[in-house]
Each structure stands twice: as C-alpha cells, then as structure tokens.
C-alpha cells in the first residue's frame, strides 16, 4: 500500500544534522497518521507515494522543516519575571530550556542564551531552525487509517495512542 493522506505509517529513521546523528527510531518504529500535520511538511511530502519495505534517504530544507532561523525570536526579557520570592529561580541558567506563556496565554519554549544584571536573553527559535535535515530509513508498514483514527487525528493501537 502507498503512503497517502489518511494512512498509518510505521517507519524507522535516522536523522543527521550538520553531519551528526541527532535522533533515530532505534528498535521501535515511529508510527504516525499521514497527512494530518503530525510530522514536518518536508518529511511527509518526501514519503508520499512510498510503499511497505521501501528505503529512503533524503534532505529536508529549513523552510520545509522547522523554518528559517529568525533573529527577532531572540529576546531580552526582564529578569524580574524569573524571580521567586525576590530570588532568581534555580531553573534559569545559560542553556536552560524553559516554557513560558505569551500575553495571549500561548505556550512558548525558549533557551536561555545569556544572563545580565537586568535581562534574561532567550532564543525562541526551534533548535533545528535554519538547519537542513537528512533523513534515512525504511518504511516498515502502511495501512488505511480507521475512521476513528482520522476523526481523532492520531493512530490508535500498537505504536499509537491508547484510549
């Protein structure tokens, strides 16, 4: 069966960025519902039309992956928002990944890049923004998604969500 919208795909992958392996499926296949935004767009489009047992090796550009690196997503935030009882939280240090909320209550994940007397500088770019992603692996299986999986927007059963 071919990979297309509303199919459940089980695959193995290795991800390299800048020549270094940064992720892999290991022994358990990654299982996802194709065409429902669960994966980055470039990954899904490259897999479209592949079949059970196919091997793949492709690159995904930043614009089809995690986006271009944007300088405006590096922000200096007032150090006072990180104080707990007047003392800097121990969770705030260079390299720390923190989840904050914007003024609309939307979650934002950023990395602390610099601490000064007055500010905490954070980078809200995805850690893979601006990077070309090199995926290689094989398709383990492809099947039609059930109506329930399609309506819920995720895979049920082995490798997927359990209700």
Least confident of 17-31, 53-67, 77-91: 77-91
**Mean pLDDT on 50-68:** 97
Domain 71-123 - what CATH class?
mainly beta
pLDDT confidence bin for 41, thresholds 50/70/90:
very high
The alpha helices in 57-135, defined as continuous H runs, are none
What is the distance between the alpha carbons of residues 118 and 79, in angstroms, rounded to a whole number?
Answer: 5
What is the distance between the alpha carbons of residues 101 and 87, in angstroms, rounded to a whole number?
Answer: 20
Show me where the domains of the chain are located. Answer: 7-66+129-152, 71-123
Question: Of 86 and 71, which is predicted with more confidence?
Answer: 71
Residues pairing with 76 in the sheet: 121
CB 7 within 8 A of CB 51: no
What is the distance between the alpha carbons of residues 3 and 56, in angstroms, rounded to a whole number?
Answer: 13
What is the distance between the alpha carbons of residues 25 and 46, in angstroms, rounded to a whole number?
Answer: 18
Contacts with 117 (C-beta within 8 Å, 6 or more apart), sequence order: 79
pLDDT at 157: 75
pLDDT at 159: 58
CATH of 7-66+129-152 among 3.40.630.30, 3.30.300.130, 3.10.50.40, 3.10.20.30 = 3.10.50.40
pLDDT digits over 114-161, tens only?
999 999 999 999 999 999 999 999 999 999 999 999 999 999 876 565
CB 56 within 8 A of CB 135: yes
CB atoms within 10 A of CB 147: 9
Question: Of 88 and 72, which is predicted with more confidence?
Answer: 72
pLDDT at 63 exceeding the cut of 70? yes
pLDDT digits over 78-87, tens only?
999 998 888 8
């Amino acid at each position: 069966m071919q990979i297309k919208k509303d199919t459940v795909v089980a695959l193995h992958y290795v991800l390299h960025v800048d020549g270094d392996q940064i992720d892999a499926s290991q022994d358990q296949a990654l299982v996802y519902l194709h065409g429902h935004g669960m994966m980055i767009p470039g990954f899904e489009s490259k897999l479209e039309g592949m079949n059970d047992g196919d091997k793949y090796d492709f690159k995904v550009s930043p614009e089809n992956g995690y986006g271009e690196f944007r300088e405006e997503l590096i922000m200096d935030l007032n150090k006072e928002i990180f104080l707990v009882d007047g003392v800097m939280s121990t969770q705030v240090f260079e390299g720390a990944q923190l989840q904050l909320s914007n003024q609309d209550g939307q979650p934002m994940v950023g990395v602390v890049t610099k601490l000064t007397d007055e500010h905490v500088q954070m980078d809200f770019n995805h850690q893979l923004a601006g990077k070309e992603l090199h995926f290689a692996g094989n398709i383990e299986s492809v099947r039609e998604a059930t109506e329930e999986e399609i309506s819920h927007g995720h895979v049920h059963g082995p490798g997927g969500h359990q209700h």
